[in-house]
Chains A and B, each alone.
Chain A
């Protein structure tokens, strides 16, 4: 399987293609008031033809091609746009949870990032990727163009979940590199103290970035389904804990819920969208649900 195929299989791409319009409107919707005048600017450089889909502006139709082939195509240009998207992918150790490779949070998050990048790059947005762990591990500046997806996937392929999460310093580093304002999508499990998350998001908001938080969780982390005695070994170097799940479950769930509520509150206060995605949900479904929620906003 080719490298892109590991992250974007044909079936997913097919489903993503059907979501392009919605994706574009969503992305545009998110930029209302920020980039509209500039998006309406003239094209700069021809990029490609693509099949006409309902909703495309008729003026973009390439009449010559239509006359010659009797099939509608629109012209696409690499437009100069101010909308940039940076995806911050959490590569801390906690993202390694998941016995099944397909359900491993890191794998899932990587495919999610690849899918989002594909969608946005198809919408001629510029997409960048930052891998954050204990520090800013990798930085891929936002760019547009068909090659950017390959760079994103290559960066994802080198990502390995390891080490303790340090959301604040790594976010600070990414924010420093990001420069002018952009759409920042944070893909993480957010297993960090709420204070640290708040400080990180606050830094991004301070730079007037648009924030979307995609929280990737494993179903076990929501339900804590363990029955027998278990030795819980921390993926981020925490001290191991031998516990009877029946005894600690209530406390775990309570604290988990408390953290969720805090996260929700602070995202609301930061005007950041928070979406929780579990790894047992197919990527396409997860994105479709996410886009639907964004459309309603």
Chain B
């Protein structure tokens, strides 16, 4: 078999010596010669000898040119005739082949009108057509996790070809380590045949990250004990282009999102390439309504964020989309996010009676803090109730519960609050002069209750101020890029607390080192503990200009669960839950842009009913229509696989070297050979062009030697 059969055209060069010979003969010079007796002799022997010598030299010259042409064609001696076994070969009779085809998003990269997947598809078909009678094959799709891998190789190569023909880039990031393991496992049951694995992928380094680890290489080599390792051949397709711009994230910095209130939308755009991208158009819209059109410039290999104030006029489930305009890989140019836009969240304020009437201020600070900055359109609907009035029904309508100047809580009350937090409600506990540390610790922590993020120790009466705040936390997002406004705010009394190691997370500290704000997660909800009071004699926080925003931010953070997160991963089930039995007959799902609607399945769990839809393997927007409590609902779910494949950085030379040298993979550049020739050569064949070149050299030496010997 020849790797470069076209080079055989140079075989015609072998005729050159013959042509020269014949031309020389035809253009001879006549010489009238006297000393013929020394030239021909009386017998014909010497003349025949000379003629034989001429033909021998001619043959040597022709053979030299011919062998050179054959060497250029890079012939391969089939291993089936070789006595030396090579990797992947057992009998040399037939082969079991596993083709690992990368159909990840990066394979959608298009250059010159042809995607990398198109090239990979061609290579796969060439592999299939190069297989011999009796060979068996199996196909593994590395980027498709829903693809049911075959359990054995099959001689039905046509079915594999059909499967490949209509292949489109999938959504998942492949892991070649896992695919190789799967392929090797599959080949272990193939019997005593040649075992070959072909990986067809672009040059993206990401899928190889686990193959390049020492642990994989160790495990791969360990397979030798079970028999010869399969021969692994990598066919890289496409180029080394790695320039890619992707919308990496789109999110509201503060949740929940309110209607008719400015919300901050942050869009992150990443430049994976090595060249800066300047003034790329960036569009943001919801539904058919444009939010903004702007441009963005991103330095190489970095992320740039665009922060936009977004005013959404209509409450309800909406899809916010952001897209940049780029070339090459376009599947990651757009990102959608589903957001529930709320009109208001319900806040229940529970105030304990003052321990001493003289210590309570005449004005209640929390309502004022929450309404600050709003006229009558505050998104916080505040209701006040005594602690004794707390019951499940009341809390069912509540999103955030504020326990101001927390005093004694009974056990049942604690359980109700615990249940409220477990279900996603937010609780803000503010200590005060009515707070009794021992009772609170006992009632709000332990025995299945973990509402208290930190154990209260005792009141510290010592002037201090807020020293540090965790600016990354959503509670303090509104202070992003601004100086700390609380440094000059005096605090004279506070509770010394000790956060529970597994639950409490300190968000702000006092200059004394004691926590001021501690958070813990309870069930699906959050609890915030403020260790000082909003009373004037405890601190000057209520008078601080920054306190209204802090209070609103804390309440908004705690009420985030009022909005349901409708952003899903592929395959994640859409669940619409309700305490009231929905009309399951009217519940449908429409996978946009399709117009067909699939019914949802209704299931009952206790006193709750759930509508489910599980066919969400494809990314996109799924629109749910259902009727709850006689009200028609339209909910938008966004299924996104993320952009894990957006980094197109190719394998470096060092990484290729690891694959070829240490893992013993063959890398075949199809710019220099063909698939068929590669397969034939690798089936244990041995390239003999070096041997031929040595032979050419030897022939040249012999020809020169003989010519000199016979002519001197």
Contacts and interface: CB of A to CB of B under 8 A. Distances in A.
Interface of A: 93-97, 105, 189, 191-193, 218, 221, 226, 228-236, 238-239, 241-252, 255-256, 259
A246 B34 contact: no
A189 B34 contact: yes
A231 B34 contact: no
A25 to B, nearest CB: 35
Interface stretch (B20-28, B234-242, B494-502, B619-627): B20-28
Residue from B33, B34, B57, B712 whose CB has the most chain A CB atoms within 10 Å: B34
A244 B57 CA distance: 11
B38 A256 contact: yes
Given A247-B53, A255-B41, A234 B711 contact: no
A244 B30 contact: no
Interface of B: 24-25, 27-42, 46-47, 49-50, 53-54, 57, 707, 709-712
Contacts of B39: 232, 241, 243, 248, 252
23 contacts: A96-B34, A97-B34, A97-B35, A189-B34, A189-B35, A191-B35, A193-B37, A221-B34, A221-B35, A229-B25, A229-B28, A230-B28, A232-B36, A233-B31, A234-B40, A238-B40, A239-B40, A243-B39, A244-B24, A246-B707, A248-B39, A250-B709, A255-B37
A234 B33 contact: yes
Contacts of A228: 24, 27-29
A249 B712 contact: yes
Contact of B31 (A94, A231, A247): A231
Contact of A248 (B34, B50, B709): B50
B32 A96 contact: yes
A261 to B, nearest CB: 13
A244 B54 contact: yes
Given A243-B39, A244-B54, A246-B707, A235 B32 contact: yes
Nearest to A94: B34
A238 B24 contact: no
Given A233-B32, A244-B54, A250-B710, 18 more contacts: A93-B34, A95-B34, A228-B27, A229-B25, A229-B27, A229-B29, A230-B31, A231-B28, A232-B39, A236-B34, A238-B37, A241-B39, A245-B711, A247-B54, A247-B710, A247-B711, A249-B712, A252-B39
B308 to A, nearest CB: 89
A259 B712 contact: no
Contacts of A97: 32-35
Given A229-B29, A244-B54, A251 B35 contact: no
A234 B50 contact: no
Contacts of A249: 711-712
Contacts, number: 111
A93 B24 CA distance: 28
A218 B57 CA distance: 30
A93 B710 CA distance: 29
A241 B47 contact: yes
Given A241-B36, A247-B53, A247-B54, A232 B711 contact: no
A96 B46 CA distance: 25
B34 A229 contact: no
The 5 closest A-B pairs by CB, nearest first: A94-B34, A97-B34, A229-B28, A234-B36, A246-B711
A235 B40 contact: no
Contact of A94 (B35, B42, B707, B712): B35
B33 A232 contact: yes
A238 B38 contact: no
A242 B27 CA distance: 11
A248 B24 CA distance: 15
A228 B31 CA distance: 11
Contacts of A248: 39, 50
A233 B711 contact: no
Contacts of A226: 29, 31
Contacts of A234: 33-34, 36, 40
Nearest to A98: B34
Contact of A230 (B30, B36, B47): B30
A250 B711 contact: yes
Contact of B49 (A94, A191, A245, A251): A251
Given A249-B711, A250-B709, A235 B41 contact: no
Residue from A97, A228, A244 whose CB has the most chain B CB atoms within 10 Å: A244
A280 to B, nearest CB: 16
Nearest to B712: A250
Contact of A252 (B27, B30, B38, B53): B38
Contact of B37 (A95, A105, A191, A242): A191
Contacts of A239: 40
Nearest to B41: A255
Contact of B50 (A94, A221, A251): A251
Nearest to B52: A247
A233 B35 CA distance: 10
B124 to A, nearest CB: 57
A235 B32 CA distance: 6
A233 B47 CA distance: 14
Contacts of A256: 35, 38
B387 to A, nearest CB: 121
A74 to B, nearest CB: 45
A215 B497 CA distance: 134
Nearest to B49: A251
Contacts of A255: 37-38, 41, 46
Nearest to B40: A241
